[in-house]
Structure 1
Amino acid sequence: MLKKRRLIIVFGIILMAIVLAINFFSGSPDESKAGLEQIETTTRKVAEEFDEDFIQLLMNYRPEKQMSFSTLNFDSKHPFYLYTSDGQLLYWSSVSMIPDFKDVDTGASFKPYQLIDNSKGTYFSRVRSINRNNQQYWMVQVYSLYDKVEIDNEYLHAGYNNDVFGNDRFILSAEPRGEYDKVTGNRGEYFFSVSLRMGYVPVGHKSSTALLLFFFSLTGLVFILGGDFVVRLWSHGRRKLALLYTISILVSIRAIMLVFHFPQDYFEVPLFDATYYASSILNPSLGDLLLNVIFSAIVLAMLISMLGRREVIVAFAKIRKRYYQWVFYLIAYLLSGFFLFLFFKLFTNISNNSQWNLNILDIPTFDYFKAISILILFVGGAGYLMFTLMSLNLVFYKARAKKAYALKVLMGLSLPILLVTAWFDFIYLVVYISHIILLVAIISFELYDNVLKLQLNTFLTFFFGCLVGAVVTGAASYQDYGKREIHEKERLANQILREKDVMAEFLLSDVMQRVKEDLFIKNRMTNPSLSKDPVEQKIRKIYISNYFDQYELNIMIFSPSGEDVLDRSNEQSLDDLRYRYMNSDYATSVRNLYFVKSGEGVEGNKFYAFMPMVKDGDFIGTIVMELVQQRIKSTSVFPKLLLDKKYIDDIYDSNLDYALFRDSVLQYSIGVYNYRNPDVIELLENNNLYKSGMNRDGYHHFGVRNGSSTLIVSSPIYPYNYILADVSFFFISYIACTLFFIIIYALLNGLNKVQFNYATRLQFHLNFAFFVPMLVISAISIGLLSKSYLEDLHRQYFEKANIIRDNLFQYLEQETKGVMDRDEFLAEVYRLANTTATDINVFSSDGKLMATSQPNIIEKKVLTRYLNPEAYAEIIEAQNNQVILDEQVGSLKYKTVYISLREMKRQHTLGIISIPFFESEEELNVLIVDVFSTIINIFVAIFIVFLIVSYFVSKQLTDPFKLLTQKLKVTNLEDNEPMYWPTNDEIGLLVKEYNNMLYKLEASRKTLSLTEKESAWREMAKQVAHEIKNPLTPMKLTLQHLLRLQAEGRIDDPEKLKKPIHNMINQVDTLSDIATSFSTFAKMPLPKNELMDFEQVVINAVELFKNNERGKVVFYDQVQERLPVMGDDKLFGRVISNLIINGLQSVPEDRVPTVTVTLTTQKEWTRLEVKDNGAGIPEEFRDKIFIPNFSTKSEGSGLGLAIAKRGVETAGGNIWFETVVGEGTSFYLTFPLVKMAKPGAS
């Protein structure tokens, strides 16, 4: 049967590979058809969602209601817009794109489904006519198919919609075309046409559904049959073969998955997506790493289970006896250290090859990727802990060496490692010290005894292992944070030392484009009678953002002839500038923009932007901007969503401070750190500054050299409470995983089979009573504090917005009255935005944009010129003064404050100020991290303290029960001492009942003693009579025989008298022996109950037979410490001697008598075995061995074993035997050990 299953499994694995190979190499039979079906499926679903939104609109906008933003605002699935019959926009649900009504076909060729193509993109739309109150409205619903936004970054995605199309190999058409495929609805309605060109791949995968179903069926079959096959082998004791087959099956399945890139090439599963994590061929994704770790854990668990079996441990103990103990200690320590190394590297592997960090800073963005990463780390850490426990269990099982010797070997191995790690890396030192603490705890407290059984010590062992694992991963997390920080600082330093401002290039390219398209500037330049100063002012105030505060700006305006019309005294002509700077050595990626590096003089880096101005095809002059860098600025309010991804690598953390030194002389510094401190010069001379950085004054400093220039980049050191929070977070996570797997284990094995003792249940209840309320309180505290911080953050936003409103109100009022023109008002908006380091948008009272400090957001089609519909409802319709809203553009989430500007008298709305806070989410995350780190540190600290306290409390509460147990074990009919309990609590009542029981037992003992004495005397009398009758009968017969001889007259014959008289003398000797035996028994003192060293008793008894001529007595002493036992040492000595004598006497004459005496300990008991090589005890005699007066020998009273049994059981021990006829008999004695207080314990 097993052979058949083995063949089926092998065949199934081969067939799995064949199925994936067919699917891998053949692909889908018709990509074009599959692509069209997928497009139709998606667009039909969108059409259904259009209908759902339309129904919701009709429910909100009933005929009796007036149209308003408040009425129409609801969570629609897709953007929609309402127009009047003449095309006037009345409502918009989104401000990312608003279609022009001219692009909507509402004429004779009207179609309900249309393609709208504009400068923002291509949209699938649904157009409907609505009649309300005799008014006709047009409702336009849109769904993006292709986005034409000019920016492509992590927030904005340019190109095709990934949910509809697999790549960009397609062409869309609003009208049907012969060679195009029609995309239609469920009822056949026409949507649009699409041409899928060669190379188009549908969304998703290239797999055959039938083949994949077959593959999964085969996989399930292999796992079911393979698992059952391995379980059968395991249960039959063929564990090595089961392990071999398990490895073969798991390795085969993983190899097939890796070769054919399953499932990443077949399904869109983020867990198996290499863009999130990829480290090697074996781990191309996080899912693959998870499978590899799980499969490795299965194999390791089987191996540990094999090593934990008693026969393996005993066999290994025999091997240990042949070699020095320190060799095995060293091997165990090295293997444990190797697993520690694997555990540590597992963390660094995940951290270095993934898109996320595993520390407290990532808690606000915690997702299932990080949860799975922690699960992987837990499995790795569990393997490290379990292997360490099992290897030490193998080494220390019945080891002759003391714990102190093992710890000395550990210290001897660890000392050089500690010195090396302390010299090279403090992180490795912390990790190895935690490893040593784990080993010392395991050895000192014998934690390896708690592995394969569920009790209180088992949980404490696992919790301690979780704490050590948390310290290891916390240290690894801190090391990873430091490496990332150094990398960031090195990148920033190289960029600055490279003296290239990529951000400035990006911004100047936009400025140059906008200036060349500005009609006001062109009109000023074409009119020779008008001053050109307004041109310079507009460029400075409107186009030059506050990023360029680090530059000194000089603007030159040249006529077509090359004359400077701004400064006639300027001796530099346009040709001079072109000749000097317009060459390839200074060229940038932006046309007509040149960058000149600073030399050894005081002059900084320079940008020269040449902007030829053209109007109606005529060249009207040139504007030149000269920007001389004064210092490098690390911050900018320029929104992230305007930054293209090609510039992302050149943007660095604004929290970094830095300073540039040339020949140890400070050139400039940015940030709050004081680089003028004389101690900084010492840093420059320290080589560690340029390797791993140095900590000084609460900052971490890292330096980069470039010739005579040195840049020091600084940042606040990672807070100590964050370091502790990392450890606490991992500790809580590991404990949660431990409890989860224990619950799974209990469910799989049956809850009835998993039973805990009283101490364990008490510990659980105590910890549960603490853990749950603490967890609830922590969660509530985090929620309340986060809410409080959020409210405070909103208050700060409103305060800043009100300051801007107060400063902007007078200018808007002047612009409304015509006192100030639009350009002047726009200049004031720019000035205020630069001053407050914010982005400002001003909308009119009808919701249209009047001015903005970031026109690129509008010009690059990121947003439209319309007010947020929710803000429209709150500010304009509801007449609220201010509101803060959550907004999102692409995937960038932020908060925006809207605040109204009203007239002083009539309070009419003049406009609405919109101020986006792009850093709001990051600021809130920082606050959450602060709160969470504080609470989790307190939580873990209290939890650990309470765990320790509850352990001792539970121990104290269970000690009376242990004392009662000990007392009950030695309770007999002799000396029983009552217990004392100081309080009258539940235990006191139990002790009182126990003492009452002793009193009753004493009364019963006295009654029983009298009865026993009477019975004993009767039995004694019977035995004496029996024993005396035996010799009296032959004596009587002899005397009668002598009388008969006398009567016959033959009494004088000496020969005839000799034999009868000799027989009578023998019988008298027998009577004398009987009398002596009973006299000795009568004189035997009562057994004492005193503390003794049982090992010494055994040694003394065996010593008597050291030179015995009857046979050989061998003693094996397998204990390493005193054996405190309560009893009578003399009685025990006689019992042992009697057993040895019996053993020697039971050996036939054809054998050399050998008695083996073995002394061992097991937990709280000691056991003595007396084994002989005699004839054994026949079956019919085995039930009578301990009966008084029974003996298998011709001589003896038969009282020896009876007395032995009575004495052993009186002391609370047990005595039994095992025998094999013809081979020998083993007598076993077990006694409970008395727990002794440790020296120095109170």
Structure 2
Amino acid sequence: MRRYLAYGNKKIANEQIVHYLTKYYFKNYWDAYNINVQVLPITDQNNNRYNKLISDGSVKLYNTNYFYCSNQKDNPFDYLGVFSYPNPTDTTMLYVELYAKERINYGYSDAVLDKSERARLNISSAKYEKEVLQWQWGKFEYPNLYSFPKTMKNGIASVCVDKHKHYFFSFPNDTHIVISEERPNDFVAYILFWTYIFSIYLAIVFVGKFVFMRIQKIQTINSLFTKIRIQFIWYIVASLAVVFCISILYINEQNFSSQRKHQMTITKYIKFELERFIVDNDSLPSKTAINFFLHDLSKLYETDIHLYNASGELISTSVPYIFAKGFASKLINPNPYFGTNNHELIQTEYIGSFKYLASYLPVIDTDGRIVAYVCLPSFLSYKKLASNLFNLLAIFLIIYFVFIVLSSIIGVFLSKRLSRPIKTIEEKLRAVKLGKQNEKIDYQAAPDDEIGMLIVQYNQMVDQLAESAELLAQSERELAWREMAQQIAHEIKNPLTPMKLTIQQLQRAKNMDKETFDNYFEKTAGVLIEQIDNLSSIASEFSNFARMPAAKLVRINIVDKLITVVNLFKNNYEETDIVYLSTIEKAFIKADKEQMTQLFNNLLKNAIQSIPPDRDGKIRIELDITQNQVVISVSDNGTGIPPAVQAKLFTPNFTTKSSGMGLGLSIVKSIVTTSHGEISFTTQEGEGTKFIVKFPLVK
């Protein structure tokens, strides 16, 4: 050391000293520190700076007279060594500054010290003597002075700080061992991450669905339009999921293949360095020299290295603890030793259940002989793989949501386009009515596809329905006229028979005396006139029904019409209590004015005729507006309608009275239907009936 201190050039002296210290002292464990040296004469003013650093915030290490531990965060170094070398003329001071390197873990050091490769990375440890840090190992940065609990139960204590749990063990001579375990909550973070992503996805789907339903006014997913859209989106989601899984498999395979190529390339570089090292030394050097050289190569190429001799026995390694702990055999794997292809091989090997790659190459001397085998163990870079997968996931999620939005838009467009003709068919089918001119569908897009064939069938159905409706209408008309003719014949025959008998009796009475004939004539004349009036009434009723003019629908105030008819009946049927109950003055509907008068006349007349002679008649007329409808009711306290005849009440020529053709309620039904209204009734036999008529309100 004094030889290097004698250099006149201070820079050269410092470099030589660093090289000397690194070569002979700072190997293996001490390689974890960077070195900086300062050579100063005893008279140099910079000595005061070091003296101040030592006195202000440094503590001398236990069992040493030369090294100090820095206790100040702003100190530039972690440890400081102070050495003095007396010379004949003066004294030279040597200051060695040590800086802790960032610890880099290769292959084994990431895996084999625990059954889980992650667990080992979470453990750190340190030793304190006299409350001064002597050494530390792992990721956790320990303070140089002991600042942990000093009160322990049975020499053991533990405490949790941030994400670490520290275990403290106290020993005699003021010695403490600290073991620290990092406890990252990866599982919770993973769950939170996917919960966050899933929540965003659900929010987007919910908002999109809500907006879509509001725009389209779709209340359920039962429509074909919605089903097509949902199926399309699900197919896109499933496709993207498959693509994502395939991408992960592809990245895994590419990562594995890339690592194999990279590992073999590094192995060839190290082989070349070893062969050159052997050439420089004329033969395989001593074990110590090989250890130093292999350690340098391990740092340079950032990989673990094993070196076997020509017999396959381990002679050097950058990770001796693997073999010292019995994790791996000290003999080379048989495959590269006995294999062909110039013994070049990369294969999968195991330490317990842990899998890793191992590449082998022979080291050849200048005579072409194999003098050694170099082996590089390489563990799959899970951090790099996780980083690649995370980057892929981040990009994929963006693309995923873009595709979801696009697929939703495209799905809406396609489903609308596909369902438009079906929706048209649905609307047309809803509008189809028997006896009405139903419209056909004009479909020119693709008349030969399934929808086109369906529309063709619909158009044919419309034609057939029109023909069937015409035939049915004609048949119904013929049947109605036949029934009407039979009823007319029956109604006419009923009075004709007593009229015939009366006239025959008159003929016989003619031969009697004049006084008897005159008396009998007066008596029978009234009967004949009554029967003739009955025939006239039948003819008039039939004539009104058959010749009912076409309705002229106009906007009218139905209140005025109803009040007019009610007042007319009040004046002509004073023996019946007719009451109008409504405060509404205006209610407009579309109807025929004359037919509305006939409608109310028939309803009130029917109500009056239903009241038996021995009962005080009471009729109530009400008018109200409910749900955009004008509701008119006429109730009486008549005999009611028997259940057996209620279904035939609005049938032409059906009546419950002893006279007349029973066309009144049939006319009422026809008028209400023509005015787009509804008619119904409620009845209780023996107590009365209530007819209810509803018309759409016109503003």
Please give the TM-score of this superposition, normalised by the length of structure 1.
0.35
> 2:330 aligns to what?
866
Is 1:792 the counterpart of 2:258? The answer is: yes
Is 1:920 the counterpart of 2:381? The answer is: yes
> 1:1183 aligns to what?
647
Amino acid at match of 1:976: N
Instruction: Determine which of 548, 552, 555 is the counterpart of 2:33.
Output: 548
> 1:647 aligns to what?
124
Instruction: Determine which of 24, 29, 43 is the counterpart of 1:538.
Output: 24
The gaps in structure 2 that reach 5 residues or longer are 1-16, 45-49, 83-93, 114-119, 127-136, 142-191, 206-220, 567-577
Secondary structure of 1:923's match?
helix
- The within-5 A match list for 1:607-1006 is 607=79, 627-629=97-99, 636-637=104-105, 639-641=109-111, 645-647=122-124, 727=197, 731=201, 776=242, 778-812=244-278, 814=280, 817-818=283-284, 820-858=285-323, 861=325, 863-864=327-328, 866=330, 869=333, 872-874=334-336, 877-879=339-341, 882-886=344-348, 895-903=357-365, 905-906=367-368, 908=370, 910-917=372-379, 920-935=381-396, 937-938=398-399, 941-942=402-403, 945-969=406-430, 970-982=432-444, 983-985=446-448, 986-1006=450-470
Whole-angstrom CA distance in 2 between matches of 1:648 and 1:1171: 101
Secondary structure of 1:809's match?
helix
Whole-angstrom CA distance in 1 between matches of 2:501 and 2:292: 149
Secondary structure of 1:540's match?
coil
Secondary structure of 1:914's match?
strand
Larger Rg computed on CA atoms: 2
> 1:1084 aligns to what?
548
Are 1:1144 and 1:1154, in contact at CA under 8 Å, matched by a contact in 2? no
**1:817 positional shift:** 0.9
Q: Name the CA shift for 1:645/1:940 in 2 (closer, same or farther; >3 Å).
A: closer
Q: Name the CA shift for 1:991/1:1188 in 2 (closer, same or farther; >3 Å).
A: same
Are 1:553 and 1:627, in contact at CA under 8 Å, matched by a contact in 2? yes
Amino acid at match of 1:784: Y
Q: Name the CA shift for 1:1132/1:808 in 2 (closer, same or farther; >3 Å).
A: farther
Are 1:1111 and 1:1144, in contact at CA under 8 Å, matched by a contact in 2? no
> 1:606 aligns to what?
78
Whole-angstrom CA distance in 2 between matches of 1:1159 and 1:1000: 40
Amino acid at match of 2:653: N
Whole-angstrom CA distance in 2 between matches of 1:821 and 1:570: 44
Structure with the higher strand share, 1 or 2: 2
Are 1:728 and 1:936, in contact at CA under 8 Å, matched by a contact in 2? no
Are 2:307 and 2:315, in contact at CA under 8 Å, matched by a contact in 1? yes
Amino acid at match of 1:1078: F
Q: Name the CA shift for 1:636/1:785 in 2 (closer, same or farther; >3 Å).
A: closer
Are 2:617 and 2:636, in contact at CA under 8 Å, matched by a contact in 1? no
Secondary structure of 1:913's match?
strand
> 1:596 aligns to what?
70
Provide, for residues 1150-1173 of structure 1, a one-character-per-residue CA deviation record: whole Å limited to 9, x for no partner.
Answer: 988476979679xxxx99998979
Secondary structure of 2:376's match?
strand
Are 1:884 and 1:895, in contact at CA under 8 Å, matched by a contact in 2? yes
Whole-angstrom CA distance in 2 between matches of 1:1217 and 1:1203: 16
**1:553 positional shift:** 6.6
Percentage of identical aligned residues: 25
Whole-angstrom CA distance in 2 between matches of 1:590 and 1:1137: 125
Q: Name the CA shift for 1:1106/1:604 in 2 (closer, same or farther; >3 Å).
A: farther
- The within-5 A match list for 1:1149-1164 is 1153=620
Provide, for residues 1002-1034 of structure 1, a one-character-per-residue CA deviation record: whole Å limited to 9, x for no partner.
Answer: 445555555444444333333444455567778
Whole-angstrom CA distance in 1 between matches of 2:63 and 2:503: 146
Secondary structure of 1:975's match?
coil
> 1:311 aligns to what?
none
The gaps in structure 1 that reach 5 residues or longer are 1-530, 555-565, 572-576, 611-623, 655-721, 736-754, 1116-1122, 1233-1242
CA RMSD of aligned residues (A): 6.3
Provide, for residues 717-737 of structure 1, a one-character-per-residue CA deviation record: whole Å limited to 9, x for no partner.
Answer: xxxxx99997479859999xx
Secondary structure of 2:33's match?
helix
Provide, for residues 100-149 of structure 1, a one-character-per-residue CA deviation record: whole Å limited to 9, x for no partner.
Answer: xxxxxxxxxxxxxxxxxxxxxxxxxxxxxxxxxxxxxxxxxxxxxxxxxx
Whole-angstrom CA distance in 1 between matches of 2:350 and 2:605: 95
Q: Name the CA shift for 1:975/1:653 in 2 (closer, same or farther; >3 Å).
A: farther
Q: Name the CA shift for 1:1079/1:998 in 2 (closer, same or farther; >3 Å).
A: same
Q: Name the CA shift for 1:899/1:1217 in 2 (closer, same or farther; >3 Å).
A: farther
**1:910 positional shift:** 1.8
Amino acid at match of 2:70: V
Q: Name the CA shift for 1:1042/1:1176 in 2 (closer, same or farther; >3 Å).
A: same
Q: Name the CA shift for 1:1178/1:1009 in 2 (closer, same or farther; >3 Å).
A: closer
> 1:84 aligns to what?
none
Q: Name the CA shift for 1:999/1:1134 in 2 (closer, same or farther; >3 Å).
A: farther
Provide, for residues 1197-1223 of structure 1, a one-character-per-residue CA deviation record: whole Å limited to 9, x for no partner.
Answer: 544654677789999999887766679
Amino acid at match of 1:539: Y
Are 2:502 and 2:524, in contact at CA under 8 Å, matched by a contact in 1? yes
Secondary structure of 1:984's match?
coil
Whole-angstrom CA distance in 2 between matches of 1:844 and 1:1133: 121
Secondary structure of 1:803's match?
helix
Whole-angstrom CA distance in 2 between matches of 1:1225 and 1:766: 59
Q: Name the CA shift for 1:800/1:907 in 2 (closer, same or farther; >3 Å).
A: same
Provide, for residues 859-899 of structure 1, a one-character-per-residue CA deviation record: whole Å limited to 9, x for no partner.
Answer: 5x273462574xx4145534565544555657876555444
**1:787 positional shift:** 2.2
Provide, for residues 814-844 of structure 1, a one-character-per-residue CA deviation record: whole Å limited to 9, x for no partner.
Answer: 56815x4333332222323333333333333
Secondary structure of 1:817's match?
coil
**1:924 positional shift:** 2.0
Secondary structure of 2:418's match?
helix
Please give the TM-score of this superposition, normalised by the length of structure 2.
0.58
Are 2:361 and 2:375, in contact at CA under 8 Å, matched by a contact in 1? yes
